[in-house]
Structure 1
Amino acid sequence: MKENDTIVEMITRFTDIVNGLEALGKTYKEFKKVMKILRSLPSKWHTKVTAIQETKDLTKLPMEELIGSLMTYEINLTKKLQECEDKKKKSIALKATTKEEEDVEEEKPSDEDDDLALITKKLTNT
């Protein structure tokens, strides 16, 4: 399986290969197909593969059940990744005010430094 492939794409490609081999006379038992699929998953699926191997009897696990389990995990994984991206994209709106030039008083450099430090502190706490 390629890193960006979905389970459906991977299973479709796998099924095409197995069907081609069966047409040539090579057959695989259900157990062998399940093992080949589990081995072909990328490293981000390692926890799911381990969970399936420890909780299921792989010699009796139907392909449909494996595919359903993998698709469910993929949906949950996608949701979690989307939530993380949404949190990273949190935007900040700043209130802007304008003053007439005649109303603006000249500030001391220390006042500007204090204002800058306060704004920076507020932004980092958000």
Structure 2
Amino acid sequence: MKMIDDDRRRMQVNEKALHMLFCAFEPAIYSKMSSYKSAKEVWDTLETTYEGTNDVKETEIGLLNLSYKNFKMEPDENVTKMFDRFLVIVNGLKVFGKIIPEDKLVRKLLYSLPESWDSKRTAMIEDKDLKTLKLDALMGSLLTHEIMKQGREDEKKRVLEYAQRPIMR
């Protein structure tokens, strides 16, 4: 009698789990999964389909680690695009359980800036406590610097264009 009650309880739990999974699916996924009889089968299939096998996960982690290690600001890339690209890598690592402390992320971003940003990087390192500096504060500071830098470059272009204009008599 005990065995039958345990089996009945397991079946009920499985049915509830299947029902919850099926309710969460869009029609295309439901039609693929509706033939499975256990929640475990559905879950394993979803895991393999959307996360890949262990080999696929290890490859993705390896590629993300490599992208993080080699991360640099690209030529002609602005701060916003660089930051977005950085967050894609960091969030990808986070999905796989590799969480990097914020102070290391701040340092990584600072050291990924090109040589033309050396003065800003040095000022940040000397003036800020990098252990407590938040990524969004770093982003704001870099954006401010970029805007000021662009403004100076635009002013130089205007002066040069004005100086090169022919003199009208």
Q: When the two structures are superposed, what TM-score results if normalisation uses the length of structure 1?
A: 0.73
1:119 maps to which residue? none
User: Displacement of 1:32 after TM fit?
Assistant: 0.6
Task: For 1:87 and 1:56, locate their aligned partners in 2 and report how far apart those are by CA, in whole Å.
Answer: 35
User: Displacement of 1:92 after TM fit?
Assistant: 2.5
Task: For 2:136 and 2:88, locate their aligned partners in 1 and report how far apart those are by CA, in whole Å.
Answer: 16
Secondary structure of the residue that 1:13 maps to in structure 2? helix
Deviations 1:59-112 (A, max 9, x none): 0001111110000000000000000111111112332xxxxxxxxxxxxxxxxx
User: Displacement of 1:36 after TM fit?
Assistant: 0.6
1:78 maps to which residue? 150
1:7 maps to which residue? 79
1:43 maps to which residue? 115
User: Displacement of 1:2 after TM fit?
Assistant: 1.0
After the TM superposition, which residues 25-104 of structure 1 pair with which residues of structure 2 at under 5 Å, given as runs? 25-90=97-162, 91-95=165-169
AA of the residue aligned to 2:111: R
Unaligned runs of 5+ in 1: 96-126
Percent identity, aligned pairs only, is 38
Secondary structure of the residue that 1:89 maps to in structure 2? helix
What is the CA RMSD across the aligned residues, in angstroms?
0.8
Runs of 4 or more off by more than 3 Å in structure 1? none
User: Displacement of 1:25 after TM fit?
Assistant: 1.4
The count of aligned residue pairs is: 95
Unaligned runs of 5+ in 2: 1-72
